Amino acid sequence: MKSSHWRFSTQLSQGDYRLSVTMEGRHRVTALIGPNGSGKTTILRAMAGMTKNGCIEFELQGGTIESTATKTTTPIHERRIGYMPQGYGLFPSMTARQNVAFGLDARYPKLPRAQRTDRVTELLRAVDCEQQAARAVQRLSGGEKQRVALARALAIEPQLLLLDEPMAAMDVASRTSIRLVLKQMIDTANCPTLLVSHDLRDVAALADYVYVLENGAITQAGRLDELARQPCSAFIAEFCQSPVL
Amino acid sequence: MTGRFQHNPLTKTGLAAAITLLFLLLLPVLALVLTSSVDAVKAGVSNTLLMPALTLTLKTSLLSLVIIVVLGTPLAWWLSGPAKPCRTVVSTLIQLPIVIPPAVMGIGLLQAFGRGGLFGPSLTEIGLSIPFTGTAVVIAQVVVSAPFYIQAATNSFRGVDSDMMLVARTLGASPRRAFFLVALPAARPGLVIGAALAWSRALGEFGATLLFAGNLAGVTQTMPLAIFSAFESDSQLAVVFSLILAALGIIILSFLLMVTRLRNQTRST
Amino acid sequence: MNVLVKTKMLKRRLSKLCVAVELSVCIGFMVGCAKETKNADVTPISLLIASSMTDVFRALEVGFLAQEPNHKLRLSFGGSQALRTQIEHGAQADIFVSANTEHMDALEAQKRLKTVTQFAKNQVVLVTHAKHKNTMKSHQDLLKIERLILGAKDVPIGAYARVIFDQLERIYGDGFISALRSRIVSHEHNVRVVRTKIEMDEADAGFVYRTDAMNRPKLNVFALPPGSQISTPCLIGLLNRGHSINESAQRFYNYVLSESGQAILKAHHFLPAGDP
């Protein structure tokens, strides 16, 4: 068995809300699925560093990022985690190029100007947005926004990429082609990825391993075909009942 | 943008009510223009009271604006966070100067900073005396107009996407860097509108200034006080002064409209 | 026509009626504010009174009503110049009480006055906060004060203060007076604000009327040199108000000049008009 890229567990309770989860990233792309309100986004935010009160143990590429037990925590801006939220969270006052450069400026303030420019151009080329570099992000199409956000997250050479519903903002007609492009880019980036999605086609196309989160707990984990063969809950059965498989 | 309804038809009585109010709102400004003459304006502009009052008003109100923005922005940022009891209490307290008449604030300021007031003795000890000075004018303006900025800024910061802020942090920005490079630019249109509102409120400050700062040409006599003083000797002069202050207000209003339109444009594209 | 339709129509009419009534009430109220309602029984006498005479006119009101209970008075106070402006802009008033002749003369020139009389005299005094009582002996001591407040130049007390300054300049020279002038921190809009700010200890000294300084424990009257003392007229004017002459206003006017009126004025430390 391969050693894992990351290992994350959390226990938190707030009023009626309880979350108790342990996940491991042994494959390149892991997917986290679950009904609305099951806590998927909360988990991604916790990994990025937005912690609520609760216990967290988080290891990444052999290092401890956060541990409630030993009371260690790495500040958000010192973690190497690329976070792409739902809606992408592009900085509206900046151009595409400035968005991509943001992480470089923050992480490597001493990077020479020319080198910085080259790196940004390279990143934009990798996501096929070189033409749009000088454009204000509001003027980008949905697919372009997604790619620029991905380039921005990859600029800091993350050890883990967190993608929250990357296809949610796309119109149905263009999803298939955009999904293919996204798959290519994730393959090229060669970075461990945790993908949150409610769409079977995303999971089928992108993920190697799937965790199912229901009511604050992992109900099943495995490859998608394993889940489809032996679903342990109504939600999973329904999720896997799709003509795509 | 699409409105809630395609049409908002008015009944006849509604129309009558709307027109009556509109008329009442616009009539004073119209009357100022109509009852003034070119000669009166010339005489007013060359009046010795005008320039000291106008420069003092601009100086103090701009200084007040800087103070309000510098001190009010961090407060508004904090207030825009998730609802907590302490936040609710603070944001309610901040509204107080809006609902309390400025004259009352003026008396309160005298009781606080006046020689006979709460901090009077300690201020005198360190050689500071505030009433009857330009400082008093600025304090009065800040107290009375800051809530308008803080409220607008808080609302604007509330609209800043928290995910976007988290992204900025994951990209390596410290909280300070994320605030200045991401939150501030994203909230800027709202901040500008709030600042303009606060500034226009400071320009018109009268009650608190009169009571707390007094009335001395060139020192504490701002435009509203000069208008009041002129009214007692020569109402024509007061009309001209009022026109000048109204013109300043109209400039601010058109600036506001410009900013709002700009913001709507960037949002819709 | 069935009942339901009828009630609906009735309701609609009623709501229209309500709006109409509300509107007419509003308009009636506005008109009422702008123009005095002519009620034959108790037409209130409307008086505009210089703020320096606030207390004495409240006492005169009580005295007058004790004699003539069938009347109603409406008193309004302010700086003489502000009241004059109000009259010039059409304020409906029967009587104007002023603390100097300038404003009364102006109204007379505009033919707005029926008659005018001087009914009492007052004096302008320099007061300091009571804490300065033992340190203020000579005119040189005046330069120890930090904050001197005057009335604005269009307020009678402000105009009088400027006359006194001129006289002090003649007596002590312009060096002294310009030093004193440099202590001025504010020009207030009426005499009572001057007094309040001194009593609050926000200002050290200022000019007020003698009657304003009486029985005020926080104030100390500074004795001005003989050549600089001025006495001021207290004037009462009957205003022309349209064509009708207000009978009640005439009665109040007479009362102020009567023996009982004069007694009240004397009790409030006003000097008789006849005094030199």
Question: Which of B132, B137, B222, B237 would best serve as a mutation to test chain C binding (most C beta carbons within 10 A)?
Answer: B132
Residues 85-144 of C with CB under 8 A from B: 85, 88-89
Report the complex ipTM: 0.90
Q: What is the 3-state secondary structure (H, E, C) of chain A?
A: CCCCCEEEEEEEEECCEEEEEEEEECCCEEEEECCCCCCHHHHHHHHHCCCCCCEEEEEECCEEEEECCCCEECCHHHCCEEEECCCCCCCCCCEHHHHHHHHHHHHCCCCCHHHHHHHHHHHHHHCCCHHHCCCEHHHCCHHHHHHHHHHHHHCCCCCEEEEECCCCCCCHHHHHHHHHHHHHHHHHHCCCEEEECCCHHHHHHHCCEEEEEECCEEEEEECHHHHHHCCCCHHHHHHHCCCCC
pLDDT of residue B83: 85
Give mean pLDDT, residues A221-239.
Answer: 85
B200: closest CA among B85, B52, B68?
Answer: B68
Per-residue pLDDT at C166:
92
What is the distance between the terminal CA atoms of chain B, rounded to a whole angstrom? Answer: 11
Q: What average pLDDT does range A195-223 have in this prediction?
A: 88
User: CB under 8 Å to B26, separation ≥6 — which residues?
Assistant: none
A44-60 average pLDDT score = 84
Q: How sure is the predictor about C21, in pLDDT bands with cuts at 50, 70 and 90?
A: very low
The residues with which A211 forms a beta bridge, in sequence order, are A32, A221
Alpha helix ranges (H) inside C189-229: 191-199, 210-213
Q: What is the pLDDT of residue C16?
A: 53
Q: How confident is the model at residue A98 (pLDDT cuts 50, 70, 90)?
A: very high
Which of A65, A73, A93, A161 to probe the B interface (max B CBs under 10 A)?
A93
Comparing CB atoms, the residue among B13, B116, B221 nearest residue C19 is B13
What are B236-262's pLDDT values in tens digits? 888 889 999 998 888 888 887 887 777
* Confidence band of C37 (pLDDT split at 50, 70, 90): very low
B185 near A CB under 8 A: yes
C189 closest CB neighbour out of B131, B216, B228: B228
Residue C200 has its nearest CB partner, among B114, B129, B221, at B114
Q: Can you give the pLDDT at residue B6?
A: 60
B-A interface (Cβ pairs under 8 Å ≥ 3): yes
CB atoms C185 and B216 under 8 Å: yes
Kindly determine whether residue B171 and residue A84, on different chains, have CB atoms separated by under 8 Å.
no
User: Quick check: B171 and A48 CB within 8 A?
Assistant: no
Rounded Cα gap, residues C104 and B1, in angstroms: 63
Partner B contacted by C164 (CB < 8 A): no
Residue B90 has a pLDDT of 94
A155 vs B contacts (CB less than 8 Å): 171
Tens of pLDDT, residues B95-148: 898 899 999 999 999 889 888 788 888 888 888 888 888 999 999 999 999 999
Average pLDDT on B225-232 reads 84
Task: Write down how long chain C is.
Answer: 276
Residue B167 structure tokens: 């992204």
C74 has which bridge partners? C46
Say if B and C touch: at least 3 Cβ pairs within 8 Å.
Answer: yes
The answer to whether residues B97 and B140 touch, using CB atoms and an 8 Å cutoff, is: no
pLDDT single digits (tens) B12-65: 888 999 999 999 999 988 888 888 888 888 888 888 888 999 999 999 999 999
How far, in Å, CA of B172 to CA of B160, rounded? 19
Per-residue model confidence (pLDDT) at position C39: 42
> For A133, left (φ over 0), alpha (ψ -120 to 50), or beta?
alpha
Residue B115 is predicted with a pLDDT of 80
Residue A39 is predicted with a pLDDT of 85
Structure tokens at B177: 């860097």
Angle in degrees, 0-180, between the axes of helices B50-79 and B85-99, rounded to the nearest 10:
160
Residue to mutate among A73, A83, A152, with most B CBs inside 10 A, is A83
Task: Find which of B156, B160, B163 to mutate to test the A interface (most A CBs within 10 Å of its CB).
Answer: B163
Whether A196 has a pLDDT exceeding 70, the answer reads yes
What rounded mean pLDDT belongs to chain C? Answer: 82
B127 touches chain C (CB under 8 A): no
Write phi, then psi, for B29 (nearest 5 degrees): -65, -45
- The residue-averaged pLDDT of A31-48 equals 87
The pLDDT value given to residue B265: 64
Q: Which two tokens stand for residue B120?
A: 């009077």
- What pLDDT sits at residue B2? 47
Nearest neighbour of C152 by CB, restricted to B16, B131, B232: B232
- Best of C22, C185, C193, C201 to disrupt the B interface (most B CBs within 10 Å) is C185
> B262 — contact with chain A (CB < 8 Å)?
no
pLDDT band at B171 (very low <50, low <70, confident <90, very high): very high
Do residue B170 and residue A77 have CB atoms under 8 angstroms apart? Answer: yes
Question: Cα–Cα distance between A189 and A155 in angstroms, integer?
Answer: 10
For A104-139, how does the pLDDT look when each residue is reduced to its tens digit (9 = 90+)?
Answer: 999 888 889 899 999 999 899 888 888 888 888 888
B170 and chain A: CB distance < 8 Å anywhere?
Answer: yes
The CA–CA distances, whole Å, from C212 to C168, C216, C274 equal: 22, 8, 21
Mean of the per-residue pLDDT values of chain B: 88
Query: What average pLDDT does the structure give for chain A?
Result: 86
Q: What is the DSSP string of C44-108?
A: EEEEEEEGGGHHHHHHHHHHHHHH-TT-EEEEEEE-HHHHHHHHHTT---SEEEESSHHHHHHHH
Q: Is the pLDDT of residue B201 over 60?
A: yes
> What local confidence, expressed as pLDDT, does residue C244 receive?
58
Q: Higher model confidence: residue B264 or residue C216?
A: C216
Q: What is the mean pLDDT of residues C133-147?
A: 86
Looking at residue C32, its pLDDT comes to 45
Residue C201 clears pLDDT 80, i.e. is over it: yes
- Using the Cβ of A73 and the Cβ atoms of chain B, whether some distance falls under 8 Å is answered with no
Q: How far, in Å, CA of C12 to CA of A144, rounded? A: 58
Which among B132, B215, B220 is the nearest to C152, CB-wise?
A: B215
Nearest beta carbon to residue C202 from set B16, B131, B233 = B131
Q: Is the pLDDT of residue A84 over 50?
A: yes
Residue A245 is predicted with a pLDDT of 44
Cβ of residue B192 closer than 8 Å to a chain A Cβ: no
Q: Tokens 């309040």 correspond to what residue?
A: C196
Chain B touching partners, 3 or more CB pairs below 8 A: A, C
pLDDT of C77: 86
B232 vs C154: CB contact, 8 Å cut-off? yes
| For helices B38-45 and B235-268, angle between their N-to-C axes, nearest 10 degrees | 90
Structural contact between residues B224 and B211, judged by C-beta atoms closer than 8 angstroms: no
Q: State whether residue B73 is helix, strand or coil.
A: helix
| Among the partner residues B164, B181, B266, nearest to A138 by beta-carbon distance | B266
Amino acid identity of residue B157, one-letter, is F
Written as one letter, the residue type at B149 is: Y
Contact A106 B161 (CB under 8 A): no
Statement: residue C248 has pLDDT above 50: yes
Interchain CB distance below 8 Å, A85 and B167: yes
Residue C82 to residue B219, Cβ atoms within 8 A: no
Non-local (6+) Cβ contacts of B186 within 8 A are: A91, A92, A93, B159, B160, B161, B164
Selecting from B13, B116, B220 the residue whose C-beta is nearest the C-beta of C201 gives B116
Tens-place pLDDT, residues A69-79: 888 888 888 89
Nearest CA to C116 out of C124, C105, C102, C127 is that of C105
Contact B215 C186 (CB under 8 A): yes
pLDDT score, position B27: 92
Most confident of A148-152, B4-8, C21-25: A148-152
Q: Which of C88, C187, C201 sits opposite B215 (nearest CB)?
A: C187
Q: Is B90 exposed, middle or buried (0-12, 13-18, 19+ CB in 10 A)?
A: middle
Q: Which of A37-51, A127-141, B126-140, B167-181 has the highest mean pLDDT?
A: B167-181
Is the CB of residue B265 less than 8 Å away from at least one CB of chain C? no
pLDDT surpasses 60 at C1: no
* Residue of C81, C155, C201 lying closest to B115 (CB–CB): C201
Burial of C38 (0-12, 13-18, 19+ CB in 10 A): exposed
At C139, which amino acid appears?
H
Residue that is written with structure tokens 């205003």 in the block: C239
Single-letter code of the amino acid located at B224: P
Q: Which of residues 54-113 of B touch C (CB under 8 A)?
A: 110
Name the token pair of C171. 């007596």
Chain B residues near residue A94 by CB distance under 8 angstroms: 185
Flag if B110 and C201 touch (Cβ within 8 Å): no
Residues in C closer than 8 angstroms to B109, CB to CB, are none
Which pTM does this prediction carry?
0.79
pLDDT at B168 over 90: yes
Lowest model confidence (mean pLDDT) among A42-46, A156-160, B124-128, C193-197: B124-128
Looking at chain A, which residue has its C-alpha nearest residue B184?
A93
Query: What integer pLDDT is reported at residue C133 of this predicted model?
Result: 85
Model confidence at A15: pLDDT above 90: no
pLDDT for B69: 96
Whole-number percent of chain A with pLDDT over 90: 21
